[in-house]
């Protein structure tokens, strides 16, 4: 059963998703410190997503079988998700994390520009200004180091950004053909199989060395897995309710949340300039939401 579209609900879901995704990265770093690989994290969270969303769909009486048209519509979302995750995680092996994050989080700008092209709508000057203002704040908040510009890392970061943009641009089209939960079952199933194939093919599946479930990096890995299920559920709901460009803009909040949680959890410090950047991002998001609502209301 599809619920009525609600812009306000979509904004809240986008913010919830961005905040939840933002909490995953610092926790994942704790799992990496105990020997976990990125592909192992992706595999576990996708497999857990299949389990959770199948149970939820069955409890709600939803049919898991979908039409060929719906399945084909989900393929671009799934492919975008896989290359977005692998590209971003691969980039940090070659680039400073801050620089990789800045390149990756150009995806809201990519989504906004692509949406304007697809909709054949000329963006208003205030929209362009807010997109640039949010990105400028993001640059300040992350505080990158522009050393070690490895070309492979640059390529992977932009592949990741393109994949992330693809999720938003194709997600609403796919969700028009099936329910949100059923879509998540199929997307996570394909991602699980794809990640498993990559992990086995490259020999890159390693889990925490500590004893399961409470030793070493296991608590952090379990937390990232559970948070991912919530984050992706909120993300798909946001795309459905408010569309690609509006939902993507709110994901500029994600790295700001990551930095804040890293400060609390890992002892990293935010400089005054980073705090100013975070405030710029949040302010731009609020103003962009108001402008988008005015445009929608006409």
Q: Residues 262, 26: contact at Cβ < 8 Å? A: yes
For residues 135-145, give the mean pLDDT. 75
Per residue, what are the HEC states of the chain?
A: CCCCCCHHHHHHHHHHHHHHHHHHHHHHHHHHHCCCCHHHHHHHHHHHHHHHHHHHHHHCCCCCCCCHHHHHHHHHHHHHHHHHHHHHHHHCCCCCHHHHHHHHCCHHHHHHHHHHHHCCCCCCHHHHHHHHHHHHHHHHHHCCCCCCCCHHHHHHHHHHHHHHHHHHHHHHHHHCCCCHHHHHHHHHHHHHHHHHHHHHHHCCCCCCCCCCCCCCCHHHHHHHHHHHHHHHHHHHHHHHHHCHHHHHHHHHHHHHHHHHHHHHHCCCCCCHHHHHHHHHHHHHHHHHHHHHHHHHHC
Residue 95 near residue 150, CB atoms below 8 Å? yes
The average pLDDT across 276-293 equals: 74
Q: How many residues does the chain have?
A: 298
pLDDT, tens digit, 9 for 90 and up, residues 222-245: 998 999 888 888 887 887 777 766
Q: b/e string for 119-144 if b means 16 or more Cβ within 10 A?
A: eeeebeeebeebbebbbebbbbbbeb
Q: Give the pLDDT confidence score for residue 3 in this predicted structure.
A: 53
Residue 90 has pLDDT above 60, yes or no: yes
**Which has more confidence, 125 or 289?**
125
Mean pLDDT, range 196-216, rounded to an integer: 84
Q: What is the pLDDT of residue 174?
A: 77
Token pair recorded at residue 267: 């002892």
Average pLDDT over residues 115-124: 74
What is the value of pTM for the model shown? Answer: 0.75
153-166: pLDDT as tens digits? 888 888 988 998 88
273: left (phi over 0), alpha (psi -120 to 50) or beta: alpha
Compute the average pLDDT of residues 186-208. 88
Percent of the chain with pLDDT over 70: 88
**Residue 160 vs residue 168, higher pLDDT:** 160
Is pLDDT of 2 > 60? no
Give the pLDDT band of residue 1 (cuts 50, 70, 90): very low
Q: Return contacts of 143-147, CB within 8 angstroms, 24+ apart.
A: 143/98, 143/271, 143/273, 143/274, 143/277, 144/96, 144/98, 144/99, 144/101, 144/102, 145/96, 145/98, 145/99, 146/96, 146/99, 147/96
pLDDT category at 192 given cuts 50, 70, 90 is: very high
pLDDT value of position 54? 93
Count other C-beta atoms under 10 Å from residue 294's C-beta.
11
Report pLDDT digits (tens) over 35-71: 888 888 889 989 998 999 899 888 888 888 888 888 8
Q: Looking at the predicted structure, is the pLDDT value of residue 113 above 90?
A: no
């Amino acid at each position: 059963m599809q619920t009525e579209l609600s812009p306000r609900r979509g904004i809240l879901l986008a913010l919830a998703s961005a905040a939840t995704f933002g909490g995953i990265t610092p926790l994942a770093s704790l799992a990496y410190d105990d020997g976990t690989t990125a592909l192992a994290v992706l595999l576990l969270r996708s497999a857990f997503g299949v389990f959770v969303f199948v149970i939820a769909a069955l409890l709600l009486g939803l049919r898991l079988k979908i039409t060929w048209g719906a399945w084909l519509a989900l393929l671009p979302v799934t492919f975008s998700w896989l290359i977005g995750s692998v590209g971003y995680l691969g980039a940090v092996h070659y680039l400073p994390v801050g620089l990789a994050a800045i390149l990756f989080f150009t995806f809201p700008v990519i989504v906004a520009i692509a949406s304007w092209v697809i909709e054949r709508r000329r963006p208003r000057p205030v929209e362009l200004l807010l997109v640039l203002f949010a990105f400028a704040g993001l640059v300040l908040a992350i505080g990158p180091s522009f050393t070690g510009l490895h070309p492979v890392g640059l390529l992977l970061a932009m592949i990741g950004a393109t994949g992330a943009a693809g999720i938003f641009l194709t997600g609403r089209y796919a969700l028009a053909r099936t329910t949100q939960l059923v879509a998540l079952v199929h997307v996570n199933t394909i991602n699980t199989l794809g990640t498993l194939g990559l992990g086995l093919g490259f020999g890159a599946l390693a889990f925490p060395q500590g004893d399961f479930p409470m030793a070493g990096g296991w608590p952090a890995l379990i937390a990232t897995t559970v948070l991912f299920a919530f984050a992706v559920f909120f993300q798909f709901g946001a795309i459905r309710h408010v569309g690609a460009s509006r939902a993507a803009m709110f994901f500029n909040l994600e790295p700001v949340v990551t930095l804040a949680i890293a400060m609390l959890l890992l002892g990293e410090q935010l400089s005054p300039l980073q705090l100013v950047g975070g405030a710029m991002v949040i302010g731009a998001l609020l103003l962009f939401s108001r402008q988008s609502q005015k445009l929608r209301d006409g």
